[in-house]
Structure 1
């Protein structure tokens, strides 16, 4: 019987700097505090899942360099009892890192990223026998994994070929993408969607893949457009579920036509300390709910609760709690009667 969740992709050390304002070119801002910790899709999502349910069997697949940052990643995985057999050390490379500049008052973030070992991590580094023993496989971030983003003559991209191979092992697949400026979404992400059972992304990423603007001219979220984006992504080949998250809430569409929107929790003033990893926390909530066969309303509540727990601290993991505590938080701050 298949058991556990394998997560592959970006392993990053985040250096989070809290700043008073984001300076214009040539101007100065003040760094108010700093911290560091593991980041990226694989580290963040696995850390969230391990915190939510320490009994859950988890496997990490990724690459680090021969440096102190690599040690930080490996120590983190050991601490949370996450399987490390799928993590390889790429000689002559540095571990990927990101300088995360976070405006203290708003939580808005700007990222300065060094790809490092993630740029040379490829499908040949995956242990498919190990992955085949798991029930679910999640990978991210597309657009930030150079080898997986490469073109493939048969499947469109190497990511698409990889997901197809994992699906052939009887494993449910899921993919996340990174937010970036540019026109690569259609050519890099679309080919892989037809080999995804689940697709979880934010509203901007989903909108760029679908070529639909998720927000109105005044910046407000267009929920009708969000529903249309979910439908367009399903048309691209996602087989079971599309979930899009935004600061205002999350929308979903299932293969049998069920859809809904669940507002984000109404958090008290001063609650939010930072938003690094909030999307990964939301994703972890959805993955856990799918693993446990929760109905979608409960899944969205858990995902919103996990994201809200994340917001309580400046880094990507310190705010996370157990599944029970996340549901308690969600029930406390949920907008009553607003879910559809």
Structure 2
């Protein structure tokens, strides 16, 4: 990895997560009690940035995004500043309604359900991105599918995401794109053109199936062999030096030289699980942090799993993540799946 640059620029989705913990997910027309609730930062740019700062408080992180001047926007700005994230690129829209998500976590299963309102995220466009003054090494960009302007054609490119990724590369940044579990056909249409403008890609089993048009899960279980085939196809289509695919029981990492590494996940005690909200972001932060620090891919996968495991201990998106050493110690204490 290049050493002249250092740190991360997170960009894209800043949303306020209205976190709600319930005992079980109700059927339609039924009632279930909310056990606890709170509002905190969410979205890929927010979660990844805060996770990086929690893993390593000395790591520089700046951000680009759009929020409103409402109460949710104030929460996001305050959390970014408290985490030590540079917010000069976090644009505030007067009178705007900040993107928000009603994020329900089920205590009995650890599963999550999100209902979101796009709000000011619809206004994000390539015009908000200026890389001229950035000394960051890696751009972490997301989330395609929920940003109206970015999702459409821009400047002769298939979409705004591709326009931004190409501009970042020209400015000397390495690029990483985070995805969201939206309708597979829509996800594929947006992401496929972007694959040739990526240096890294960290996705889950559903997402790799969506962007390749293949079945990678069956009745909620991961088909690891299908993920391996799909991952090889994505590597052929894209320019990534490293691709990681994560799933509940483990992860696969593909390198440009053909190496494929399989690493089981952490054996997290069920009693320790408060919610999975943000675990994917924590995995991405741990993995990309390791690569930034020139760790071997296998060790980066270990930190990715450890960060995700630590994240599961909190109903929010970032509260469970600790320093990279503390996350690894936690994982070693719990043990690894086989």
In which range does the TM-score fall when normalised by the shorter chain? over 0.9
Matched-pair contact (CA < 8 Å) for 1:63–1:121: yes
Which residue is equivalent to 2:172? 170
Equivalent-residue separation in structure 2 for 1:219 and 1:72 (angstroms): 35
> Which of 100, 113, 123 pairs up with 1:120?
123
SS, match of residue 142 in structure 1: coil
Which position in structure 1 is the counterpart of 2:72?
69
Which of 26, 30, 39 is matched with 1:27 structurally?
Answer: 30
Superposed, which structure 2 residues align to 1:137-176 within 5 Å? 137-152=139-154, 154-176=156-178
Pairwise mapping of residues 190-209 of structure 1 onto structure 2 (< 5 A)? 190-209=192-211
Question: How high is the TM-score relative to the length of structure 2?
Answer: 0.96
The whole-number CA distance in structure 1 between the counterparts of 2:155 and 2:122 is 21
SS in 1 for 2:331: helix
Task: Please give the alpha-carbon distance, in whole angstroms, between the structure 2 residues aligned to 1:158 and 1:108.
Answer: 32
CA offsets 1:279-335 (integer angstroms, 9 cap, x no match): 000010111011101101100000000000000111111111101101111222332
Distance 1:291 1:80 in 2: 19
1:167 CA drift (Å): 0.7
Alignment partner, residue 229 of structure 2: 228
How far off is 1:153 after superposition?
7.1
CA distance in 1, matches of 2:206, 2:171: 32
Of residues 99, 104, 114, the one that matches 1:101 is 104
72-81 or 150-159: bigger deviation: 150-159
Shift of 1:24: 1.8
**Cα offset, 1:101, TM superposition:** 1.3
Does structure 1 retain, via aligned residues, the 8 Å contact 2:311–2:320? yes
For structure 2, which runs of at least 5 residues remain unmatched after alignment? none
Tell me how far apart the structure 1 counterparts of residues 334 and 239 of structure 2 sit (CA, whole Å): 32
Aligned residues: 335
Give yes or no for contact 1:199–1:238 (8 Å, CA) kept in 2.
no
Partners of 1:309 and 1:326 within 8 A in 2: yes
Structure 1 segments unaligned to the other structure (5+ residues): none
CA RMSD of aligned residues (A): 1.4
Measured in 2, the distance between the counterparts of 1:44 and 1:122 equals 20
TM-score by length of 1: 0.95
Q: State the Cα deviation string for residues 237-285 of structure 1 (Å, max 9, x = none).
A: 1321111111111111111111121111011230101111000000101
Q: Match for residue 251 of structure 1?
A: 252
1-structure distance, mates of 2:249, 2:328: 18
Alpha-carbon separation, structure 2, partners of 1:9 and 1:321: 24
SS class of match (2:140):
strand
What is the DSSP-based 3-state SS (H/G/I as helix, E as strand, rest coil) of the residue aligned with 1:253?
strand
Deviation at 1:151, TM superposition (A): 2.2
2:132 is paired with a residue of what secondary structure?
helix
SS in 1 for 2:142: strand
2:60 counterpart residue number = 57
Query: Is contact 2:70-2:95 (8 Å) kept?
Result: no
Structure 1 residue runs of 4+, over 6 Å off? none
Aligned to 1:82: 85
Report what 2:213 is aligned to: 211
